[in-house]
Amino acid sequence: MQIGKGIRALLANIDERSSEPTGQELKELAKDTLEIPVEAIEINPFQPRQDFDEDSLEELSQSIRVHGIIQPLTVRRMSEGSFQLITGERRLRAAKMAGLNSVPAYIRLANDQGMLEMAIVENIQRSDLNAMEMAFSLQRSIEECKLTHEQLSQRVGKQRSTITNILRLLKLPPQIQQALRKDEISMGHARAIAGLEEISSQLMVLGEIMMKDLSVRETEKLVSKYLESGKKSQVKKPTQKSDALNRKSAELNQIQQNLRSLIGTAVVLQYKENGTGQIQIPFKSDKELNDILDLLEGLDK
């Protein structure tokens, strides 16, 4: 089973800062838990998860108040009475919210690479990382742990093609990454958008998705139209006019980004060569519409 193989590979890398622990030491550390004061645990700097839903944390804290922490955290000893979290930050946060003074934890010996790999495996396999968090985590593992896509595939129990598709998300513009992080679009939408090379086209498709609530299948068809249109335009030789349009496109993209930052939604700026166009401001509820109107009215004051 791939997950088991990945965990065994991680355990093979675990070490104390200056010496290799024996197999017996690892077995003892893996099975024993201790109650550790929450104040003695510092957050794992290699934690891939960035977003913690407050409502979800509150629900977990309520459960912890009633049932306690069922699954122990995993920490490494830093010094006497001081520990660093390897996995379980969500449980630690919820335990603090529940007013617990101590938490059960496994104590392991791990170097920084082992910590990063264990954190990635634990989060990807057992938690709900969003696609962007997963992409950043995988990329960091490749860069800092010098892992190939194949090795990473074995460690996290995912196909190599899946790893490659997730990493492609890092090449998308920030606006699309943010929409994916906020669950405004799905992984399928983002994967379809990644098939386009031009940032302006990618952002136009994002705007269409947000405005028309397109499905993944509809998005794929829209992307195909953009690709077909791009092939036709490539037949024409580049001219000074086309160079000027490219510069204009970059300027318009910047304007569009500024509008999105100002209004806080996926604004779409459509511009034609004759100087005409339109600005589309999508919203998903009456509240969002009212917030946008209040903002626009405030700009006149």
Query: 223 by DSSP, 3-state: which?
Result: helix
58's tokens: 């509150």
Catalytic residue among 20, 25, 89, 150: 89
Name the residue with tokens 């510069």: 247
73-77: list long-range contacts, CB under 8 Å, 24+ apart: 73/41, 73/103, 73/104, 73/105, 73/106, 74/105, 74/106, 74/108, 74/118, 74/122, 75/36, 75/41, 75/105, 75/106, 75/107, 75/108, 76/107, 76/108, 76/109, 76/110, 76/115, 77/107, 77/109
Backbone phi, then psi, for 194, in 5-degree steps?
Answer: -65, -15
Q: From residue 134, how far is each of 96, 163, 176, 227, 248 by CA, in Å?
A: 26, 10, 15, 28, 35
The question of whether 89 is a catalytic residue gets the answer yes
Which residues are annotated as catalytic?
89
